[in-house]
Structure 1
């Protein structure tokens, strides 16, 4: 039969004279003739009895639509047997029938179990805890690597990167002074306003000086400076190192026999170890100046009286405690920023994601460590 002719089905039932039932397939069994073939197959029993003889000598082209009709008509076993018979069909037809038979008889996908809101919440919490544990483990490992490098280079002054250290010190300390001073000045003014509003009701306005002095010397000065540095400097460290990793510059350093931790991490860590204590001192001074200004304008407390109250009521240990936390915050912020930079995988999106992660982790760690330090000092009676 010539190519392009419509598919035909000729059925001859079983009889005593003709013998077993016989089915003759001819023409093209394609999507264009699907409706007509469906009408022709409607009266036939599906699937056909196993003893039915199938004549495919005049069968033309077959596509997936025609193969699915043959699957319905013949059944899975008969269609698979036909697809293996090299004398009945051409190789392309046999391959198509075999693929359609396997697809149609594939086991159905198991239904997803009904969701349980409580279990899903617990699973999400568990995944979050695992992620936090992995981040903590990586951070501890990187801290150990940095400390090991410091111990190795401590007795080798010729390998200290003083130029890089000075450049990073300028960026992290000097360039951050204006924003730190302005913010802490405004926060000091706000704290003084709050103290004046509350304490004036009890005739204790003079204690506003103590409130401002205690809060900034012990907590707010270092904490606000650390948070600003975490948002400003940790993100810069991550973006710088991440861009170098994306451009394969860190791999080039390793090929040249240079240690990336020694070259990139230590100058940044050392610079921030000096920068944050200086910024914390600036923050304390600016906060006290903001409180002094509000006390002078709103409470008629002269600047000399303000300074006298601070000197007589606030012990030196509060200033020491506040300043002692600054190097710890600085080390953690620098290490987190550098570690996230080394995690960048090579794309601009990865640089952005790890920069955001560095800022979030740094601020989180700073606040957690500050809270733990406050509890420790309270228990020690300091």
Structure 2
């Protein structure tokens, strides 16, 4: 076997107030995840090994594996099964990024050249497929129930992405599909897209950790629900950051360029103030050119819709924390509460 691109050093964020003994276990677990990830993305063909490891080597937050590890620590703690579950979730996430970048025609991902820009669209799609297959192979070692969960998660992820892509492709007509005639309906439809395309995989990350960490069924259910809610908060924070600053190595305003109706855009569209007419017009379609993008960002950043979206994100973060009340107390639960804080505060 040839050695492919390194999967990168484990990204272990410092969680404020985390128990020192727990932090040490998390570091050990994330190192094991990084080693296993590097092992499974390797390939006997040097080019495939390089392309498969391209985004893994760029680093990233490793948020999903971290959640798997923390959820396992609510029970008996991490083990080899937890590590494989975390790797399966991260591989699924990485595979989706290869496909996302092709659809978005992205040039950058995680601060490096995107796989589609480096290797071409066809190779990027095929490598994404290869990584999905690798994820399934890793998860298969965890048993039939884990395979079923992986399959269900994959279906939801793809369905959410299809609806999200369709929304952007249809531009102004998407307002009708999303229920724009009914503001609450539009927001509910958008949040369901986020629950599927982002929340489902993060829910599975928490579910796997709880399952293979030996938690009881009630705890597994509570942590699964927590993970999905956290995933929606995570994506809403990313959406706000896409307006307010550069994020994930990609230029600000990517969603506006694609014509996506994110939460702040949906709120801005409800304005009947004539002074907001230009902003509403810009957010009804993909913005074109650097000047239009700069104008749209300037108007949206100054609009009350941003604070409205932040408040909504904060409410969902509170709901995620409340789900942890069903789990009990302990260092791992406190770390999960702090994780919610860290995710939500990214949007402030």
Q: TM-score range by the shorter chain?
A: under 0.3
Q: RCO greater where, 1 or 2, for CA within 8 Å and sep 6 or more?
A: 2
Larger radius of gyration: 1
